[in-house]
Structure formats: structure tokens, C-alpha cells
Amino acid sequence: MAAVSLEEARRLVLEGCRPLPFARERLGAAVGLATSEPVMAANAVPPFDNTAMDGYAVRAADTSSAPVTLEVIGTIAAGDTGDLAVGPGQAARIMTGAPIPPGADAVVMVERTRRQGDDKVVVEVAATPGDHVRRTGDDIRPGQEVVPAGTTLTAAHIGVLASVGADPVAVTRRATVGVLSTGDELAPPGAPLKRGQIRDSNRPTLLALLEQAGCRPVDLGAVGDDEAAITHALEQGLSACDALLTSGGVSVGDFDYVKVVLDRLSGGGMRWMQVAIRPAKPLAFGTVGAKPVFGLPGNPVSSVVSFELFARPALRQMMGHPHIDRPRATAVAEEDLRRSPDGKLHLVRVVASFTPDGTLRIRSAGGQGSHILTGLAAANALALLPDGPGVSAGEKTDIVLLADPLSLRP
Ligand code: AMP
Ligand code: MG
């Protein structure tokens, strides 16, 4: 089978993944989802002129010859209607967020006043109209577009939407994604390991990656290398999910039944690829009834790298996100990162960190075997080493950031 390039494999995968329908999501559950339509403000923010400070609402003209003594006519708290009209020579005690009363046009901070008895205040500085007043619509005008369509909602966007009462909000639906492990060697959870058995590490890892990618993960369990069991599990998964991930059984072993089953379920529509990358060479991708199915490799590091390169961007595209890829950067190798020429792009697990002067640098995160999960766990980036001898200390190379480069310190 001819090897396909990373770009070609990615193109095939992204082409097969259509956007999901929209849904109305409560703001409390919408962070990280992408808006499916623009959101217009139903009200101004602030909705009324209010004070930015605790102090006294005054008529600025009354204070021009400060210090002046004004008559205190009452107190306006946040939440009050603020109907107390302030006439010439008068002031109202006012608390942050309270409406500016009729007649007043400025606020003097309490620190610039001195109270005299119950009904007098000395204002020590002259106020200018508008002082400490937050005007209606300062932030948002009614009818204004506050969040465009196709915005990945951050916590601050949630705040903006809440401030205009846009709850629920129209978003592209969260993808429900099933994860199935395959292999006779996988021990049942909690049971002691018998000879020849291993723990199923791919399934919890992929479920966690889905959660972090903003999907709704569905655990489809593990099945042995058995055609009927794999068929049953995949059919169940397809009926409940928008997309499926399997791991194992997609290379050229004698018991790789995932291939047989997916070929049948997809009506021959699966692509079995050997991608010119290391790790994560084998990849199966296709759609079953328009639902994408990713047959990821069994080796633990390979399944993660394959998820990162193919499944994560595809699922993010399905969920309408404007940015589907992890951030990339250029980094300086702190040490030699050697490889041998083999026609493939190597994705090396590295630790990226900033030097005090702001240079992004990388070093190997440890063992690079496709079964060495601890090397992956120690890494926060993948260095992209093109075919050739690798990079020498001091040379630059491109990296894909898997985590904040400040999250791991050398
Ligand atoms: P396969 O792709 O089925 O040939 O599996 C390749 C390698 O990955 C083998 O060493 C498997 O034992 C291992 N493997 C497959 N599935 C899992 C899993 N769910 N967790 C950990 N290792 C696995
Ligand atoms: Mg297997």
C-alpha cells in the first residue's frame, strides 16, 4: 500500500466530516462551543446610567466653588430605582452600580467628601459633568452584534451573553463520540493481569482527549478480536454517537477484524491508509451512514498522535470551530534531536519551555517508542522533524503545542 502524506490524509479526513446541526445550549454548558449564528444584544449594557463609585450624586455646577456644603436628600443603593430627584444645592448618597438620580450629572467619590450630621455633606473637589458616571450602552448598544457566528465561546463571551440575557445560545452541537478498544490481550478492568494481558490504556486516554476537545465522550468498552463482538459494539456506538474512535486492529495482523467489520458496515467506504509519519502510521477513516469512524492504531502513543493529527481537527470542524488545530510555533532545540531518514515525518515528544528572554526551546521528553506512554506524559509538544538526519542543538524546528509551554518547567 502506497504511503500517503500527512496533508493528504488530513484532507481526506476533513472532507468526510460535515458540520453538526445547531442546538440551543444553556450558557452554563456552552463554554468551548462555537456559536452557529450571530448574537444581537436585547438590551443596552449598562442598561441605565449608574455610578462607578461609592459617593454622592451631585449637580456638577453646584460644586464649581468647592469646597461646598450640600443638603443630603437620601441614599440610593444598587438595585434601587433611583427616583430621588436631586435639585440645586442637593446631593444623594449613592453606592456603586446604583442609578444616577434625575437632576444629578456627576458623582463625587466618598473619599473627597466629609459628612456633617445626618443631612449635610461637604464636597471638597469640583466635579465635571459625567465624573464617575457609567453611561447607558457604554459597553453594548441594544441591537448590536455582541458575538459573531462561528465564535468559540470563552468564559468572557459567556459573560457578554449573560449581560444581554442571551441564554440559551445557538451553538453547533457538541459531538457525541464513542470510543471502542479492541484486542484479546486487554484485561477486564480491575482484574489481575494474566500472562499475555495488558491494561486498556487507550480507551481512558481517548475519552479524556475527547473531553478536552469539547466533545461528549461515550465509553463503548473493550471487545476481543472477534468479528461478531466488534460488529455489535460498532453498531451500538453508531446508533448513539455522531462519530466513533476505535483503537487497535487496523494494521496487518492476522486478527485485525476491525478492518473486516468496518469495510462491511461502510459498504467499502473505509480508507485504509499508511500515513508517512512516525508514530501513527496506520489509519483507517471512513463514514458509516455519514458518521465518521476513525480506526486509530493500537500502540498507545500512536493512538494519541493519530487523534491529535486527524480526529481532533475533524471533530472540531464538525463542531463549527474557526480554529481546529493546536497552536504551532518554531522552537530552538536545546540538544540534538536525531532521527534516521525513512521517508516519513517524525513527531517527537518534547518538552517546550520559554527561556527568561522569551525564546521557546525544546528538549526530548524521554523514550520515543510508540509504546512509551510516560514519554508522552512528560511532553507538552510534538516536534515535527522532516525526513533527514533530525536537528542539531541550536537549530530551529516547528512544533505543535499540546499544552501551555509554561505548564512544564525544566
Ligand atoms: P494492534 O493495532 O491491534 O495490532 O495493536 C498494536 C499494539 O497496541 C499492541 O501491542 C497492542 O497490545 C497495543 N494495544 C492495542 N489496544 C490497546 C489498548 N486499548 N491499550 C493499550 N495498548 C493497546
Ligand atoms: Mg490488536
Query: Which tens digits make up the pLDDT trace of 223-280?
Result: 999 999 999 999 999 999 999 999 998 887 877 899 899 999 999 999 999 999 999 9
| pLDDT range class, residue 1, cuts 50, 70, 90 | confident
Answer yes or no: do 228 and 274 share one domain: yes
Query: Which of 186, 299, 370 to probe ligand 1 with, by most ligand atoms within 8 A of CB?
Result: 299
3-state SS of the chain is CCEECHHHHHHHHHHCCCCCCEEEECHHHCCCCEECCCEECCCCECCCCEECCCEEEECHHHHCCCCEEEEEEEEECCCCCCCCCCCCCEEEEECCCCECCCCCCEEEEHHHEEEECCCEEEECCCCCCCCCEECCCCCECCCCEEECCCCECCHHHHHHHHHCCCCCEEEECCCEEEEEEECCCECCCCCCCCCCCECCCHHHHHHHHHHHCCCEEEEEEEECCCHHHHHHHHHHHHHHCCEEEEECCCCCCCCCHHHHHHHHHCCCCCEEEEECEECCCEEEEEEECCEEEEEECCCHHHHHHHHHHHHHHHHHHHCCCCCCCCCEEEEEECCCEECCCCCCEEEEEEEEEECCCCCEEEEECCCCCCCCHHHHHHCCEEEEECCCCEECCCCEEEEEECCCCCCCCC
CATH code, 165: 3.90.105.10
Which of 261, 289, 318 lies at the terminal end of a domain, its last residue? 318
Query: Which of 180, 182, 198 to probe ligand 1 with, by most ligand atoms within 8 A of CB?
Result: 198
Ligand 1 lining (C-beta closer than 6 Å) = 181, 183, 185-186, 198, 200-203, 247-251, 253, 297-300
Minimal-distance CA residue to ligand 1 atom 15: 298
With a cut of 70, say whether residue 408 has pLDDT above it.
no
Query: Which of 184, 226, 247, 304 to probe ligand 1 with, by most ligand atoms within 8 A of CB?
Result: 247
Answer yes or no: do 386 and 356 share one domain: yes
Answer yes or no: do 167 and 208 share one domain: no
For the chain, how many structural domains are there in total? 4
Answer yes or no: do 152 and 85 share one domain: no
Q: Which ligand places an atom closest to the C-alpha of 302?
A: 1
With a cut of 60, say whether residue 410 has pLDDT above it.
no
Which of 172, 189, 219 lies at the terminal end of a domain, its last residue? 172
Instruction: List the domain range (segments joined by +) for residue 378.
Output: 328-408
Domain membership of residue 371 (yes or no) is yes
Answer yes or no: do 182 and 116 share one domain: no
Q: Which ligand places an atom closest to the C-alpha of 295?
A: 1
CATH code, 127: 2.170.190.11
Query: Which tens digits make up the pLDDT trace of 324-374?
Result: 999 999 999 999 999 999 999 999 999 999 999 999 999 999 999 999 999
Ligand 1 centroid vs 272 CA: distance in angstroms?
17
Q: What is the pLDDT of residue 409?
A: 58
